[in-house]
Structure 1
Amino acid sequence: MLVWMDRLARILAALGGAVVFGVAVAVTLSVVMRIVGLQGLRGDFEMVEMSCVAAAGLFLPLCQLNRGHVMVDLFTEWLPRRVRTGLDWIWLLGFALGWAAVCYLTLQGLAEIRAYGDRTMLLSVPVWWAYIPSALGTGAASLIAFAQVFVLPRQPIVQTGH
């Protein structure tokens, strides 16, 4: 397996985990503040919204690396291994192209939202910031899928959990 794929996927997933952890701490703090009679953190729900988008995008490359997407082999399990491998290759190519398309469209959306100057209501954070991790994640997932298609076509599915 190419080392860069593993490192890239793990770094982005770690960033996604840090985002989830950070927003979990902020929401917990906000709830505790409300329980003790203080005003909660302003815009805590906006933080949750933005972080969900960021984390979801950042977890995609690790999912792609592990080929952890839902696979339904109900109709193909009876086929010879070579045929199933060929079908898996076609689906992998589809994922690579699909991630590339989603990345492109995310970047288009980022540019459009940035041009509008949209900001969140309470925190006044530029909405386009949430698109950056998604573009990174879908772009990295696409690179990893293309590498799996063209660089490692004969490699078995490798779980990266050590």
Structure 2
Amino acid sequence: MHRFMNGLARNMALLGGIVLTLLILLTCVSVLGRGINTFLHSGLGEALLGGATQTLLDTGVGPILGDYELVEAGIAFAIFAFLPFCQITNGHATVDIFTSKLGVNANKFIQMVVEVVFALVLMLIAWRLYDGMLSKMRYTETTFLLQFPVWWGYAASLAAAVVAALVGVYMAGVRSVEFFTGRRIIAPAGGADH
């Protein structure tokens, strides 16, 4: 079971990384286009390039239409796509000023409670994303520039949030079994300690 959940979390993180990389490239190209467009509209651009400025402007040099809309939907997906991997690898930051002084059993109990609460929060988020998606579908809301349905971004985020919730529930189960049986199934505290 752990191998499957770990693979699912890794694949979701890889997909999130691909989307994030594409969004970075999109943003860079858009900013570059915006800069070139601004330069071509300037007096300096006109003086240096003469009539070529209008030719370049006629090709459509400028920012990518709807770049903000694509980044908004894509970043939301990427964030949810990284959550399962962070959860299964204990990658969340922890502050152990108080808990470092407690015994092993107390720390196992705290970790179990945190995992259960986190799983519940992830399920709540997935549920609310589902409700939001249905609402956007019902009212056929679209983005301003690209006119693509807003629910598409919700659906992508929902898919990643459902995977995050599944991994969260799995980790809550693992930590509960570890606490009640005393066995160690997954090593704790792989995250950044502060």
Question: Is 1:92 equivalent to 2:115 in the alignment?
Answer: yes
Q: Which residue of 1 aligns with 2:93?
A: 70
CA distance in 1, matches of 2:169, 2:72: 30
Whether the 8 Å CA contact 2:23–2:71 is kept in 1: the answer is: yes
Whether the 8 Å CA contact 1:57–1:134 is kept in 2: the answer is: yes
The offset of 1:158, in angstroms, is: 7.6
Q: Which residue of 1 aligns with 2:127?
A: 104
Q: Which residue of 2 aligns with 1:22?
A: 22
> TM-score, structure 2 length as denominator?
0.75
The offset of 1:143, in angstroms, is: 1.4
> For structure 1, which segment, 123-132 or 35-44, has the greater mean C-alpha deviation from structure 2 after superposition?
35-44
Whether the 8 Å CA contact 2:142–2:148 is kept in 1: the answer is: yes
1:123-148 per-position Cα deviation (integer Å, ceiling 9, x unaligned): 01111111123222222122112222
- Letter paired with 1:140: V
Counting matched residue pairs gives: 159
The equivalences for 1:114-125 within 5 A come to: 114-125=137-148
Q: Which residue of 2 aligns with 1:157?
A: 188
Task: Give the greater-gyration-radius structure (CA).
Answer: 2
Runs of 5+ consecutive residues of structure 1 not aligned to the other structure: none
- Letter paired with 1:52: I
- Letter paired with 1:143: L
1:17-73 per-position Cα deviation (integer Å, ceiling 9, x unaligned): 111111222222222223333222111111111111111111111111122223222
1:80-129 per-position Cα deviation (integer Å, ceiling 9, x unaligned): 11111111111111111111111111111111111111111000111111
> For structure 1, which segment, 90-99 or 21-30, has the greater mean C-alpha deviation from structure 2 after superposition?
21-30
| Residue from 48, 66, 88 that aligns with 1:43 | 66
> For structure 1, which segment, 121-130 or 34-43, has the greater mean C-alpha deviation from structure 2 after superposition?
34-43
CA RMSD of aligned residues (A): 1.8
Whether the 8 Å CA contact 1:50–1:130 is kept in 2: the answer is: yes
Whether the 8 Å CA contact 1:92–1:145 is kept in 2: the answer is: yes
Whether the 8 Å CA contact 1:57–1:138 is kept in 2: the answer is: yes
Runs of 5+ consecutive residues of structure 2 not aligned to the other structure: 38-60, 179-183
Percent identity for Structure 1 against Structure 2: 31
Aligned partner of residue 116 in structure 2, secondary structure: helix
